[in-house]
Chain A
C-alpha cells in the first residue's frame, strides 16, 4: 500500500513541504506493522529507523534491571519516535512497545539524513519536535528526581478513603497526578511501588489499603 501523502503532510516534520517534495520522500518510507505488546524498538540497540505512528498507539518506555517499567511517552498517530538516536547516532535510549495493533511508517537513518540535506527547510520543524521532547523529558526528570511522589500518592489515597456507609470520591490516575503535581505515568509507577511495599492492593477498580500503618509511614517521608 502506498504511503498516503496527506498523512505525511500532517506530520509536523514534513508540514513545510509541497506535494512534489512529499512524493519524493514517500518513496523512502516503508511500512511496518506490529501486534499488541510487540516490541518495536529495543533499548541499547543501534539506531536504524525513525518511526511515525500511522495508526494505533505506541508507548515509549525504559525498563530497570528488576523489570520495573517507566513510561516516558505515549505516541499517537502523526507523532514520531526514535528521533534522538537517529540524529545523534548513539544506541536507542529507550524501548517502544505497541499497545494494540499498530501501523508504522519508517524511514532509515541514512535516508533521513539525505532528506534533511535535500530539504533543509524541514530542519526547523525537526528542531521543534526535538525541543518539545526535551521539554517533556525535563518535566519528567523533575518529577522523578525531586518530588517524593510516592508519599504524596500515599497521602492522596489516605485522604480519599471511602466511608463505611457511602463511597468516597472515586479518583482516576489523572486526577491523582494533578493532585500530586506530577505526570500520570509517575502515578502508575507509584501505585505499583505502594503495592510492592504491601501497603495497598489494586483489585480492578478498587484500591484496597491493606496496611494502613505502612501507608502512613510512607506518607511521613518529606514531600
Chain B
C-alpha cells in the first residue's frame, strides 16, 4: 500500500478525492488507508499530494528468461 508520512500530511484530502478505488480516508485529520480495498498503484495520490506525504515506491525486478 502507499506509504504515508504522517508528519508531512496536512489532511488536505486531495488524495482522497482522486483515489478511484476509495482506498484512502481522513481519520483524525491525517490520511489513512482503508486496507480492505486493493490499491492498484496508479500513484495519483502521490502525484496530487502538495506536501510530498504520500509515496508509491516501485520494486524493480529482473524477470529471468
Contact = CB atoms under 8 A, between A and B. Distances in A.
B14 A161 contact: no
Contacts of A160: 60
Interface string B45-65: 011101010011111111100
The SS class assigned to the B binding surface is mixed
B50 A76 contact: yes
Contact of B46 (A101, A174, A206): A174
Contact of A209 (B44, B52, B55, B61): B61
Contact of B58 (A55, A102, A207): A207
Interface stretch (A5-13, A40-48, A125-133, A163-171): A163-171
Contacts, number: 89
Contacts of B8: none
B63 A99 contact: no
A138 to B, nearest CB: 21
Interface residues of B, number: 25
Interface residues of A, number: 34
A162 interface: yes
A209 B62 contact: yes
Contacts of A210: 63
A57 B48 contact: yes
A117 interface: no
A56 B14 CA distance: 6
Given A57-B18, A172-B43, 10 more contacts: A101-B17, A161-B62, A167-B59, A170-B57, A170-B60, A173-B43, A201-B63, A202-B58, A208-B63, A209-B62
